[in-house]
């Protein structure tokens, strides 16, 4: 096909032979509606699930599975060379194995060998196949070469089976693809890293129907998780009380309270390279939780008095665990501080004091208030770093995804060699 117009990304959508191939049609639609020029390269077995005519009609491009069609144009070399991004969805166990082995028996595997752009794979298969040591070894090998292999989702599989191995939703794969396109040739610079992100707002129960909470929606934390996955990291997202669609390729641990979040983050931090605490964790919780609903009556006091006790400081506990050798000394710890200025100090002054008090490596300070911070599409922050070379880097106003990229840039700058 002729080259894409200037400014139009050229994307190859590889489709392997699994039942989830039908979902790739929705991904194709998202890519083309977003302005990308997409060439679909299915395997021969993929056409058993979705026919050639469907791919050609939706993409407006010719479709072939072998290297002999239009051989005079040398498609097995040209398609990969011209691509800005290659996405394989679904990536079956067979396709992952052939890609890891460097085989080139059809047009898709040949394209993978010739591509010099970022490659994103979204696996889909039965749980037993995903968890088999051979598949895990193939995924690890591909990731070591810079391929972004997303973690599959958990849910209903073919038939009555349920478990990890489900193709992530097309919208989530599309979001990961957009992040890779936005980064261009930079590629998956977090490949081989394991990171933990907390997101959302904790809720502390008062009685069976009431709780103390906050206004956090989890959008910034989810952006951090999605961006890290798109940059090649293995991501554990500890999510507290969010209603957002889950990002593709991320292991999710759902929690409710501050103490649940603390347990989940400390467990996930073992073996991690970085923890970014973006969740809004309640500082206090009710000292006593009523077992039945607290009734409002016409007699007695106007309202009950609620005694509060302190919640654990999760970031401080992480710092202490690192200091005591429970967590590795190389672990990078970053916190978020949603601040407002007051009579004693401004937002940044409060942030600097908190960074010194917590002992973290980085603190992302954002001012909150009407139209700022919680629930908005954009964010404006200052990234404070501690220790030698301490700096203050303002970011934004910018999308929360761009803010997330800036945070990971700062985290990456703290990694040691290797």
Distance CA 91, CA 89 (A): 5
368 bridge partner residues: none
108-129 average pLDDT score = 93
**Residues 102, 115 contacting (CB under 8 angstroms):** no
**385 near 333, Cβ under 8 Å?**
no
pLDDT confidence bin for 411, thresholds 50/70/90: very high
Looking at 214, 311, 366, 379, which residue is catalytic? 214
- What is the pLDDT averaged over residues 382-405? 88
Q: How far is CA 367 from CA 239, 374, 384, 404, in A?
A: 22, 10, 14, 16
- Global pTM reads 0.80
| Residue 71: pLDDT band with limits 50, 70, 90 | low
- Check residue 69 and give its pLDDT: 63
- Residue with more model confidence, 417 or 244: 244
pLDDT tens readout for residues 282-340:
999 999 999 999 887 766 667 788 899 999 999 999 999 999 999 999 999 999 988 77
Alpha helix stretches (DSSP H) within 148-218: 170-183
Average pLDDT taken over every residue of the chain: 88
Checking if the pLDDT of 367 tops 90, the result is no
Q: What contacts 21, CB < 8 A, 6 or more positions away?
A: 15, 42, 46, 49, 50, 90
Percent of the chain residues topping a pLDDT of 70: 91
Is the pLDDT reported for residue 280 higher than 50?
Answer: yes
Structural domains of the chain in order of their starting residue, each with its CATH number = 10-186 (3.40.50.1950), 194-412 (3.40.50.10300)
Q: Is 241 part of the annotated catalytic residue set?
A: no
Paired tokens of 216: 């956090």
**pLDDT score of 201:** 94
Degrees (nearest 5) of the Cα angle 331, 332, 338?
A: 140
**What contacts 24+ positions apart, CB below 8 Å, involve 383-389?**
383/407, 383/410, 384/351, 384/352, 384/355, 385/361, 385/410, 385/414, 386/355, 386/356, 386/359, 386/360, 386/361, 386/362, 387/361
Read off the pLDDT of residues 6-61 as tens digits, 9 standing for 90 and up: 568 999 999 999 999 999 999 999 999 999 999 999 999 999 999 999 999 999 98
Which candidate, 232, 176, 248, places its Cα nearest to that of 412? 232
162-214 pLDDT, tens digit per residue, is 778 889 999 989 988 998 898 876 778 898 899 999 999 999 999 999 999 98
Distance CA(53)–CA(336), nearest Å, equals 50
Closest CA to 217 of 251, 243, 245, 254: 243
In this structure, the strands spanning 274-277 and 37-42 are unpaired
Which of 413, 235, 223, 236 minimizes the C-alpha distance to 332? 413
Mean pLDDT over residues 235-244, rounded? 94
């Amino acid at each position: 096909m002729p080259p894409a117009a200037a400014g139009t990304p050229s994307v190859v959508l590889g489709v392997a032979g699994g039942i989830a191939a039908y979902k790739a049609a929705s991904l194709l639609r998202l890519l083309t509606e977003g302005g990308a020029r997409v060439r679909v390269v299915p395997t021969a077995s993929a056409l058993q699930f979705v026919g050639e005519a469907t791919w050609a009609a939706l993409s407006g491009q010719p479709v072939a599975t072998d290297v002999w069609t239009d051989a005079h144009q040398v498609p097995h070399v040209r398609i990969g060379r011209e691509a800005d991004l290659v996405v394989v969805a679904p990536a079956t166990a067979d396709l992952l194995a052939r890609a890891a082995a460097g085989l080139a028996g059809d047009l898709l595997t040949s394209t993978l060998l010739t591509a010099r752009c970022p490659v994103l794979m979204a696996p889909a298969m039965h749980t037993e196949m995903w968890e088999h040591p051979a598949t895990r070894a193939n995924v690890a090998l591909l990731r070591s070469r810079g391929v972004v292999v997303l973690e599959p989702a958990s849910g209903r599989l073919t038939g009555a089976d349920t478990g990890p191995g489900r193709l992530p939703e097309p919208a989530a794969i599309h979001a990961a693809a957009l992040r890779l396109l936005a980064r261009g040739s930079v590629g998956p610079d977090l490949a081989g890293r394991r990171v933990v992100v907390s997101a959302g707002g904790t809720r502390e129960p008062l009685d069976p129907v009431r709780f103390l909470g906050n206004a956090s929606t989890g959008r910034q934390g989810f952006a951090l998780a999605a961006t890290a996955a798109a940059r090649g990291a293995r991501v554990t997202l500890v999510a507290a009380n969010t209603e957002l669609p889950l990002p593709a390729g991320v292991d999710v641990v759902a929690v409710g309270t501050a103490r649940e979040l603390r347990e989940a983050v400390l467990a996930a931090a073992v073996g991690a390279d970085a923890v970014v605490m973006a969740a809004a964790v309640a500082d206090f919780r009710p000292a006593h939780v009523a077992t039945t609903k607290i009734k409002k009556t016409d007699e007695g006091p106007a309202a009950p008095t609620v005694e509060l006790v302190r919640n654990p400081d999760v970031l401080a506990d992480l710092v202490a665990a690192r200091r005591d050798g429970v967590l590795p000394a190389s672990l990078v710890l970053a916190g978020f501080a949603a601040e407002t200025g007051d009579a004693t100090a401004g937002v940044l002054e409060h942030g600097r004091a908190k960074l010194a008090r917590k002992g973290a490596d980085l603190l992302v300070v954002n001012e909150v208030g009407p139209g700022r911070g919680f629930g908005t599409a954009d964010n404006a922050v200052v990234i404070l770093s501690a220790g030698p070379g301490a700096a203050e880097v303002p970011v934004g106003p910018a999308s929360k995804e761009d803010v997330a990229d800036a945070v990971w840039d700062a985290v990456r700058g703290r990694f040691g060699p290797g």
